């Protein structure tokens, strides 16, 4: 999540072996996010992290790390800021791509972004998302909100199987992946994993804690 400590935390994630760093641009009503991400967003907003401040944070993180940076946010933020203006400013600030969690694939198709598909997505929507995604496809492993789960969703394997038949783009699985064991299991199916809530919890204990956690995930995926 964008904030005063984000550059330091991004360095820790990179040192731990992260291939990509996702940076949340906080929104007051994050429909796709569970309690951990919601609390992080509330904290960021309380610290004054509005869109301009988030873009400045992104610039600082870009200077601090070499891995790709992918902001994640919601369409209302872009609507308020201006769609074309946001797309230009976020790239200029150092973003490699963008995730807009609540923006359907067929809305604003001119906006380059990583597309999301879920177990409830039809083959038609998966194919459309794969054709228009920016680099890789985000597989939402559960039909619900973000957050740690006790076990890997059984819906991931059939979602990967369906998507592989429709596209050759890289597939990264996220939502509910919180332990090295779950990351390893997901990594056997998909090309990579996205870990959000569990990483935020580790970051609450400081950059060294986050680096250790990411290192454990990296080792599990080796």
Active site residues: 22, 33
Find all residues with CB under 8 Å of 117, minimum gap 6, and list them: 125, 126, 129, 130, 137, 138, 139, 140, 159, 163
Within 13 Å of residue 86, how many CA atoms lie on the same side as its CB? 27
Separation of alpha carbons 133 and 13, rounded Å: 25
φ, ψ of residue 192 to 5 degrees: the values are: -175, 175
Collapsed DSSP state (helix, strand, coil) of residue 212: helix
φ, ψ of residue 28 to 5 degrees: the values are: -70, -20
Rg of the chain on CA atoms, in Å:
16
Separation of alpha carbons 190 and 182, rounded Å: 12
φ, ψ of residue 23 to 5 degrees: the values are: -120, 120
Separation of alpha carbons 197 and 2, rounded Å: 14
CB 75 within 8 A of CB 102: yes
């Amino acid at each position: 999540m964008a904030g005063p400590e984000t550059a330091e935390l991004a360095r820790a994630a990179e040192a731990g072996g992260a291939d990509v760093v996702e940076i949340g641009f906080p929104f007051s009503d994050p429909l796709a996010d569970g309690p951990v991400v919601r609390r992080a967003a509330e904290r960021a907003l309380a610290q004054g992290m509005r869109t301009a401040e988030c873009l400045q944070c992104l610039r600082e993180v870009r200077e601090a790390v070499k891995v790709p940076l992918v902001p994640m946010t919601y369409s209302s933020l872009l609507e308020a800021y201006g769609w074309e203006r946001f797309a230009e400013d976020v790239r200029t600030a150092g973003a490699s791509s963008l995730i807009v969690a609540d923006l359907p694939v067929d809305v604003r198709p001119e906006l380059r972004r990583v597309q999301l598909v879920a177990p409830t997505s039809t083959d038609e929507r998966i194919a459309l998302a794969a054709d228009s995604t920016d680099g890789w496809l985000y597989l939402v492993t559960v039909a619900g909100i973000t957050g740690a789960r006790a076990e890997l969703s059984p819906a991931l394997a059939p979602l990967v199987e369906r998507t592989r038949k429709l596209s050759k783009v890289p597939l990264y699985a996220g939502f509910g992946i919180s332990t090295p064991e779950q990351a390893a299991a997901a990594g056997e199916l998909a090309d990579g994993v996205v870990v959000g809530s569990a990483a935020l919890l580790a970051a609450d204990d400081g950059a060294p804690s986050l680096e250790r956690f990411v290192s454990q995930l990296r080792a599990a995926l080796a």
